[in-house]
Amino acid sequence: MRAVDIIMKKRSGQELTRDEIEFLIGGYVAGTIPDYQVSAWAMAVFFQGMTPAETGVLTEVMLKSGKVIDLSGIPGPFVDKHSTGGVGDKTSLILAPLVASLGIRDPMMSGRALGHTGGTLDKLESIPGYRTNLSVEEFRSIINKDGFAMTGQTKEIVPADRLLYALRDVTATVESIPLITASILSKKVAEGAEGLVFDVKFGSGAFMKDPAEGEKLARSLVSTGAAMGKKIIALLTDMNEPLGNMMGNFLEVEESLDCLEGKGPADLMEVTLELAARMVVLGGKAKTAAEGRKRCEEALASGKPRELFLDNVRSQGGNPKQLLELRGKYRSEYVMQITAPDSGYIHHIDAFQIGLAGVHLGVGRNRTEDTVSPTAGIQFHKRYGDYVKAGEPVMTVWGKSAQSLEDAKPLILGALHIQQNQPAPRTLILKEIASS
C-alpha cells in the first residue's frame, strides 16, 4: 500500500477503506508518511468530502492513535459539552459546575485560543495559579471530588489529532466537515464522556458562516457520534455577535462568576441554560429540556454551582479568595474608550472583527506558540438593539500595550454598526439536532 495511491483515490472522489485510512493515519503518527503527503490527502478531503462511513472510521482510527482516559470506578453519568468556537463564549466555565451540582460529572478536555476564537484553557489560566496540564490521575481525582475537571489535550491523548490539526491550520484545510467531525469526536470520546452536547455556531464569528453549513456539521457530529455509541444532541446557535458583555480571558472568568450568581447577561444565560438543560437530559436527570432548564435555574438560585466553581479553582491550583479579590481590578494599564460616532440603535457588533481585534489586544493568538494576556479584552456597555447617543461610551478596551490599542481600534470601529431604526430581536438558538 502506498500513500500516493490513497491520495489519488480520494482526489478522484472515491471512498477509502478502513485499511487505507489506518495505513495513512498510522504512518503519519509513526513518522513513516511525511507531512506533504498528508497535506495533499487533507486537501483532497477538503474538496471531495468523505462518506459517513469514512468519517466514522477516521474518527475511530484517530481515537485509537493514543490513550483513552479510563473513568471506571468513578460513579457517572459522564456528559460533556463542546463548542465549535466563538467570541466571548465562556459557557463551559458556567455549565460545568452547574451540571455537576445536579449530579452529572463533566470530564472537560478543552483547547486554547487560535485566530479570532477564544480558548477555555486561556481563560482558566488567567486565574493566578490555575493549572490545566493535569495528569490522567489528577483529572480522575478532581472529577471524582468536584464533579468536573478542566484539562488540555496531552501528547498521549489522540496524537493523530494533535498532528493533523496543526497541519490543517497551515494548509487551509480547517473548514472541512469530515475533518472537523473526526477531530472533535476523537478527543471527546477519549476523555470518557458517555453523552455529548455540541454547540455548533454559525455567523461572522464562527468557522461556519452560513447556517446551512453549520447544520451540516451538526448532523455530521450527531450521526458519527451516535454510530460510536454515544448519546448526542447538537444546538445550532448564533455567533454573529459576541456572546455576553465581556470578551477577554480574565474578563470572561469574571462574567462567568456573574452568571453563577444569577447576574449574567440575557444572551449568555440563554445559551448556557439551553446547553446545560440538554446535558441534564442526556445524564438522565430530566426527561425534557424544559424540565432540565428548570432544574438548572433552581440550582443556580441555590448557590451550589458557584461554590463548586470555587472548589475547582482550589483543586486546580488557584486561590478562590485571591480570585474574588481581583474581581473588577485585574486589568491592563493600557486602556481606551470607544464612543458612539452617531446616535441610533446598534444593529451589529461584528463578532469576527471583534475577535480579530482581540488578537491584536493580546486576548487571542495567530500561532499556537504565541502568548496571551490575562488582562486584555473588551467590555461592552451597549449591545445589539440598544439605543446610544453620539459620544456615549459603547466599549472599554484593554490591551497588552499602547500599540495594541492602536492596532485594534480600526477593527473595533469597523465592527460597530449604528442605524436609526430599531432592529428585530435576535434568535439565539436556530435548531436542535439529536440522535434517535
Domain ranges of the chain: 3-49, 79-324, 334-419
Task: Calculate mean pLDDT across residues 182-211.
Answer: 92
**How far is 118 from 99, CA to CA, in rounded Å?**
22
Class level of CATH domain 79-324: alpha beta
Give, as one character, the DSSP assignment of residue 429. E
Task: Calculate mean pLDDT across residues 115-124.
Answer: 85
Banded pLDDT at 332 (limits 50, 70, 90):
very high
pLDDT tens track for 344-381: 999 999 999 999 999 999 998 776 677 899 999 999 99
What count of other Cβ atoms lies within 10 Å of the Cβ of residue 369? 6
Q: CB burial class (10 A; 0-12, 13-18, 19+) of residue 190? A: buried
Active site residue 187: yes
Q: What is the pLDDT of residue 227?
A: 86
> Strand pairing partners for 83?
199
Q: Cell triple for residue 266?
A: 440575557
| Helix, strand, coil tally for the chain in percent (to 5) | 45, 15, 35
Nearest to 168 by CA among 189, 183, 186: 183
Catalytic residue among 82, 90, 140, 188: 82
Q: What is the pLDDT of residue 154?
A: 75
What is the fold of 334-419? Aldehyde Oxidoreductase; domain 3 (3.90.1170)
Task: Calculate mean pLDDT across residues 166-181.
Answer: 87
Whether the per-residue pLDDT at 114 is higher than 80: the answer is no
Give, as one character, the DSSP assignment of residue 426. P
pLDDT tens track for 265-305: 999 999 999 999 999 999 999 999 999 999 999 999 999 99
**How far is 98 from 290, CA to CA, in rounded Å?**
16
Q: What is the pLDDT of residue 224?
A: 92
Catalytic residue among 90, 112, 187, 285: 187
**What average pLDDT does the chain have?**
94
Provide the 3-class DSSP secondary structure of residue 344: strand
**Identical fold, 3-49 and 334-419:** no
Q: Give the residue with greater pLDDT, 118 vs 276.
A: 276
Question: With contact defined as beta carbons under 8 Å apart, do 212 and 57 qualify?
Answer: no
Active site residue 230: no
Q: The domain 3-49 belongs to what CATH superfamily?
A: Transferase, Pyrimidine Nucleoside Phosphorylase; Chain C (1.20.970.10)
Task: Calculate mean pLDDT across residues 172-201.
Answer: 91
Active site residue 186: no
Whether the per-residue pLDDT at 432 is higher than 70: the answer is yes
Catalytic residue among 65, 83, 101, 183: 183
Q: CB burial class (10 A; 0-12, 13-18, 19+) of residue 30? A: exposed
Q: CB burial class (10 A; 0-12, 13-18, 19+) of residue 193? A: buried
Catalytic residue among 162, 168, 295, 365: 168
Task: Calculate mean pLDDT across residues 244-255.
Answer: 97
pLDDT tens track for 236-248: 999 999 999 999 9
Question: With contact defined as beta carbons under 8 Å apart, do 189 and 230 qualify?
Answer: yes
Amino acid at 347: H
Q: Cell triple for residue 198?
A: 455540541
Active site residue 82: yes
The C-alpha angle 250, 187, 299, rounded to 5 degrees, equals: 50
Q: What is the pLDDT of residue 113?
A: 64
**How far is 114 from 108, CA to CA, in rounded Å?**
19
Question: With contact defined as beta carbons under 8 Å apart, do 191 and 109 qualify?
Answer: yes
Q: Give the residue with greater pLDDT, 111 vs 79.
A: 79
Provide the 3-class DSSP secondary structure of residue 234: strand
Q: What is the pLDDT of residue 294?
A: 98
Q: What is the pLDDT of residue 342?
A: 95
Nearest to 354 by CA among 112, 127, 115, 121: 115
Q: What is the pLDDT of residue 368?
A: 66
Using the structure block, give the residue that is written with the C-alpha cell 461592552: 380
Active site residue 287: no
**How far is 198 from 229, CA to CA, in rounded Å?**
16
